[in-house]
Chain A
């Protein structure tokens, strides 16, 4: 990352890289779209008013990370509505969302955009669509595994597991911070857990079973 000498002129091109004269075709045929995708996501996200979107762009305007997204939240909503499922689930957007809820609160049609992002995350994981070493779904999965097994998670072990599975070299960068955390007593290597570990799995299995029955 280049050091930010903040306040000098910036150059932020509209395309990630110059195309270098390569031809690139962009057209969408109706047969590629997934009918009913919008209704499906709307149901998963308690967001039936997804269809009221007037494409005003307030969500993208207020989102603090929208400048890093390949498709801004507004575009994702339109894509979901129209059935562009492959593109929406393959986008970086759904993983960049930090759930700050700024979009949901400002939307003039009261669309639950953050919930839509969660629904898309779930759908993407279920369909197995995400880059293999991408840290965010790996973090979610490690989190999930720890909680299922122990009932609570211990941050240190979680973070170490995540780095090992995504990008081990990053751990070197974090080493200094790690030592400082140990020194100030803010890193605990102990695994937190609840008393009866089967207790939690029993409950979750029951819920899972009820979910299966529904389908």
Chain B
């Protein structure tokens, strides 16, 4: 397994590519080929116009067979582009692909230097280093792992639902895990969606019930993922199902138990209605909740807190579905791929004191307004403020908590359209004077600008200016008793005081509070803003740096419903690609431990960022899980006894490369 000195005869084939004019114009490739031919071990040294082309690859294959080569070095472009191509060519020629090494003389030499003579010398140095290194390359095999066909989707909002349906329709078995007692996410709380003004519940509920009824989807609500172990294609997830104190299989959602609860009226703020109405400790989140099962809140239920209650709910149920001693259930499942679609949360506007949220009772957030105008909301669709009045004038403030160095730097993308939609709904429901205060109107999307125009025509006031304060000190008689918004109308160029009855704050979108905890469970990263990090913002928006785990929807960055659904489809397609392929090949640049030399000091274990190293208590040695190892090299560098080595980066390989670089090439050129 481990060769100190190459004892067979090493026969190296070296190829330098012109890459058309890209390399050949700066580097004298003929000289490089001539020089390399003089190095020990090199049997063939060629230069060719385009090595990556078919004839170029055939050149390698034929040479291997004809000249019995056992090492190949190609000097051309970046390995990111064609290492795979040349490894395949080597394999086709009958040689183990890891006897191949690639030198970059395009991005590293011809594209960054201008002096021809110096560029050629540098190319020669790099080639010589590669020749010396490749002596010590070993035979390696890629590892193939099977992909388990089941998928876990975390988060039951519109993105999670869409991904679940797509995968289930393709015949895959899906586990959909949702933290709240019902799926639907934020979209279930909306009244209408922009720009079509479809009723949100009407377009969402068919999808929700499709999820419930689909034979391939296992829906676990009121559950959270607590642990994930494994690697791509072979994950094991532990899910904790929180107790609803109701037997889900028996409950049919008749809500007789809610009517019979000892509380005659609701007393606790209803989360679904944003605290604008009250609910009892036993409740169903909203009429179309999926699954249609009641839930009991252990923080407020008298029996669960004190043990003393008449338990009228238990008697009211004729199916004996109320189980007050239910315990949390732990489920362990095996899946191959995971999609994380946990969504977002809105910025808390009480952090901005000059808007008066929480201080003045008629200041609302966008979601609260959604519930007010919704026909099944706390006021039955009538817009009635907290003090009982109906507003005759309404001010809507954009960009609350966005584009601000004191709160969040980013633009939340959906707020402008959201604000325009609310302006339309409020105008329709109340006939009041509606004022929108914006910094920039961001209505880029299909049908969005037309929607903005429609609302402009309805007579809604759009004033360009960021509101400096919402206050109640009046300067004229008409301002008394109202909330005054002091703002500069930047388009006309004058300071205005606009008195309104109701103020609506359109809050920005931020990552969920526990995003950092969630990301640790799945071993993915978050970007600086706190949203989950994608592999590449342009070319791989749903992949993460952990193979087999994908992200979709607003948890990756602020976005509206069409984009979330598109990303969900993309994530589902990525999962299907892996599953249908059946297996995945892992690059063998992993680290390995020479057991005899391991002293059992355990220093490597906590250093591994991918938790790939564990300790064998019986043998008192560490061992590395090849499938988890990403070849970062941290453990290799840190091992005090030097017992950890890395494939493709062995000590001899690296030292000989360094040696090769340091012996000068100008001696050769001096002679010529």
Q: Do chains A and B touch in the complex (CB under 8 A)?
A: yes
Measuring CB to CB, which residues of chain A are less than 8 angstroms from any residue of chain B? 6-10, 14, 54-62, 66-67, 72, 74-75, 106-110
Measured in the bound complex, the distance between the Cα atoms of B399 and A36 in whole Å is 32
* Given contact pairs A72-B495, A109-B405, A110-B405, a sample of 19 additional A-B residue pairs in the complex whose CB atoms are under 8 Å apart: A7-B476, A8-B477, A54-B439, A55-B439, A56-B403, A56-B439, A56-B490, A57-B464, A60-B465, A60-B490, A61-B467, A61-B487, A61-B495, A62-B468, A62-B469, A66-B495, A72-B493, A107-B405, A108-B404
By the criterion CB–CB under 8 Å, are B476 and A57 in contact?
no
Which of chain B's residues have a CB closer than 8 A to the CB of A74? 488, 490
Interface: B406 (CB within 8 A): yes
Measured in the bound complex, the distance between the Cα atoms of B141 and A156 in whole Å is 93
Known: A66-B495, A106-B468. A57 touches B477 (CB 8 A): no
Known: A62-B468, A67-B495. A72 touches B488 (CB 8 A): yes
By the criterion CB–CB under 8 Å, are A61 and B466 in contact?
yes
Interface: B559 (CB within 8 A): no
Interface: B486 (CB within 8 A): yes
Which of chain B's residues have a CB closer than 8 A to the CB of A57? 439, 464-466, 468, 487-490
Which of chain A's residues have a CB closer than 8 A to the CB of B403? 54, 56, 108
B488: contacting residue among A7, A66, A106, CB under 8 A:
A66
Which of chain A's residues have a CB closer than 8 A to the CB of B475? 6
- 6 smallest A-B Cβ distances: which pairs? A61-B468, A62-B468, A60-B488, A108-B404, A56-B466, A57-B488
Instruction: Show 24 residue pairs from A and B whose CB-CB distance is below 8 angstroms, ordered by the A residue.
Output: A6-B475, A6-B476, A7-B474, A9-B476, A14-B492, A54-B403, A54-B439, A56-B465, A57-B439, A57-B464, A57-B466, A57-B489, A58-B467, A60-B490, A60-B495, A61-B465, A61-B469, A61-B488, A62-B468, A72-B493, A74-B490, A108-B404, A108-B466, A110-B405
Interface: B577 (CB within 8 A): no
Interface: B268 (CB within 8 A): no
Which of chain B's residues have a CB closer than 8 A to the CB of A55? 439, 490
Measured in the bound complex, the distance between the Cα atoms of B469 and A54 in whole Å is 18
Measuring CB to CB, which residues of chain B are less than 8 angstroms from any residue of chain A? 354, 399, 403-406, 439-440, 464-469, 474-477, 480, 486-490, 492-495
Which of chain B's residues have a CB closer than 8 A to the CB of A66? 488, 495
Most buried by B among A8, A59, A60, A67: A60
Task: Please give the distance in Å from A165's CB to the nearest CB on chain B.
Answer: 32
Which of chain B's residues have a CB closer than 8 A to the CB of A60? 465, 468, 488, 490, 495
B406: contacting residue among A9, A62, A108, CB under 8 A:
A108
Which of chain A's residues have a CB closer than 8 A to the CB of B494? 14
Task: Please give the distance in Å from A213's CB to the nearest CB on chain B.
Answer: 36
Task: Please give the distance in Å from A197's CB to the nearest CB on chain B.
Answer: 46
Which of chain B's residues have a CB closer than 8 A to the CB of A108? 403-406, 466
Nearest A residue to B464 via CB reads: A57
Nearest A residue to B468 via CB reads: A61
By the criterion CB–CB under 8 Å, are B476 and A106 in contact?
no
Measured in the bound complex, the distance between the Cα atoms of B479 and A7 in whole Å is 9
Task: Please give the distance in Å from A72's CB to the nearest CB on chain B.
Answer: 6
Task: Please give the distance in Å from A33's CB to the nearest CB on chain B.
Answer: 20
Nearest A residue to B466 via CB reads: A56
A58: contacting residue among B464, B468, B493, CB under 8 A:
B468
Which of chain B's residues have a CB closer than 8 A to the CB of A58? 466-468
Task: Please give the distance in Å from B496's CB to the nearest CB on chain A.
Answer: 9
Task: Please give the distance in Å from B485's CB to the nearest CB on chain A.
Answer: 9
Most buried by A among B405, B406, B466, B492: B466
Measured in the bound complex, the distance between the Cα atoms of B494 and A94 in whole Å is 17
Which of chain A's residues have a CB closer than 8 A to the CB of B486? 61-62
Measured in the bound complex, the distance between the Cα atoms of B480 and A157 in whole Å is 44
By the criterion CB–CB under 8 Å, are A75 and B468 in contact?
no
Nearest B residue to A65 via CB reads: B495
B493: contacting residue among A10, A61, A75, CB under 8 A:
A75
Which of chain B's residues have a CB closer than 8 A to the CB of A54? 403, 439-440
Nearest B residue to A106 via CB reads: B468
Nearest A residue to B407 via CB reads: A108
Measured in the bound complex, the distance between the Cα atoms of B355 and A62 in whole Å is 12
Which of chain A's residues have a CB closer than 8 A to the CB of B399? 56
Measured in the bound complex, the distance between the Cα atoms of B487 and A6 in whole Å is 21
Measured in the bound complex, the distance between the Cα atoms of B492 and A6 in whole Å is 26
Nearest A residue to B352 via CB reads: A106
Measured in the bound complex, the distance between the Cα atoms of B477 and A74 in whole Å is 29
Which of chain B's residues have a CB closer than 8 A to the CB of A6? 475-476
Measured in the bound complex, the distance between the Cα atoms of B594 and A121 in whole Å is 74
Which of chain B's residues have a CB closer than 8 A to the CB of A59? 468
Which of chain B's residues have a CB closer than 8 A to the CB of A8? 476-477
Task: Please give the distance in Å from B464's CB to the nearest CB on chain A.
Answer: 7
Measured in the bound complex, the distance between the Cα atoms of B399 and A6 in whole Å is 34
Which of chain A's residues have a CB closer than 8 A to the CB of B468? 57-62, 106
Task: Please give the distance in Å from A211's CB to the nearest CB on chain B.
Answer: 32
Which of chain B's residues have a CB closer than 8 A to the CB of A10? 476
Measured in the bound complex, the distance between the Cα atoms of B495 and A189 in whole Å is 43
Nearest B residue to A110 via CB reads: B405
Which of chain A's residues have a CB closer than 8 A to the CB of B406? 108, 110
Measured in the bound complex, the distance between the Cα atoms of B269 and A29 in whole Å is 62
Measured in the bound complex, the distance between the Cα atoms of B489 and A57 in whole Å is 8
Task: Please give the distance in Å from A113's CB to the nearest CB on chain B.
Answer: 13
Which of chain B's residues have a CB closer than 8 A to the CB of A75? 493
Task: Please give the distance in Å from A109's CB to the nearest CB on chain B.
Answer: 6
Task: Please give the distance in Å from A92's CB to the nearest CB on chain B.
Answer: 15
Measured in the bound complex, the distance between the Cα atoms of B468 and A60 in whole Å is 8
Which of chain B's residues have a CB closer than 8 A to the CB of A9? 476
Task: Please give the distance in Å from B375's CB to the nearest CB on chain A.
Answer: 36
Measured in the bound complex, the distance between the Cα atoms of B406 and A110 in whole Å is 8
Which of chain A's residues have a CB closer than 8 A to the CB of B466? 56-58, 61, 108
Which of chain B's residues have a CB closer than 8 A to the CB of A67? 495
Which of chain A's residues have a CB closer than 8 A to the CB of B405? 107-110
Measured in the bound complex, the distance between the Cα atoms of B492 and A74 in whole Å is 13
Nearest A residue to B490 via CB reads: A57
Measured in the bound complex, the distance between the Cα atoms of B475 and A8 in whole Å is 9
Measured in the bound complex, the distance between the Cα atoms of B477 and A9 in whole Å is 8
Measured in the bound complex, the distance between the Cα atoms of B406 and A107 in whole Å is 9
Task: Please give the distance in Å from B264's CB to the nearest CB on chain A.
Answer: 48
Measured in the bound complex, the distance between the Cα atoms of B404 and A57 in whole Å is 13
Measured in the bound complex, the distance between the Cα atoms of B134 and A78 in whole Å is 61
Most buried by B among A10, A58, A74, A109: A58
Nearest A residue to B408 via CB reads: A108
Measured in the bound complex, the distance between the Cα atoms of B440 and A171 in whole Å is 49
Task: Please give the distance in Å from B670's CB to the nearest CB on chain A.
Answer: 52
Measured in the bound complex, the distance between the Cα atoms of B477 and A8 in whole Å is 6
Task: Please give the distance in Å from A26's CB to the nearest CB on chain B.
Answer: 12
Measured in the bound complex, the distance between the Cα atoms of B476 and A9 in whole Å is 7
Measured in the bound complex, the distance between the Cα atoms of B111 and A146 in whole Å is 67
Measured in the bound complex, the distance between the Cα atoms of B488 and A75 in whole Å is 11
Which of chain A's residues have a CB closer than 8 A to the CB of B492? 14
Measured in the bound complex, the distance between the Cα atoms of B354 and A107 in whole Å is 13
Measured in the bound complex, the distance between the Cα atoms of B468 and A56 in whole Å is 10
Most buried by B among A54, A61, A66, A109: A61
Task: Please give the distance in Å from B396's CB to the nearest CB on chain A.
Answer: 16
Task: Please give the distance in Å from B383's CB to the nearest CB on chain A.
Answer: 27
Which of chain B's residues have a CB closer than 8 A to the CB of A62? 354, 468-469, 486
Nearest A residue to B497 via CB reads: A67
By the criterion CB–CB under 8 Å, are B477 and A7 in contact?
yes
Task: Please give the distance in Å from A106's CB to the nearest CB on chain B.
Answer: 6
Measured in the bound complex, the distance between the Cα atoms of B405 and A6 in whole Å is 38
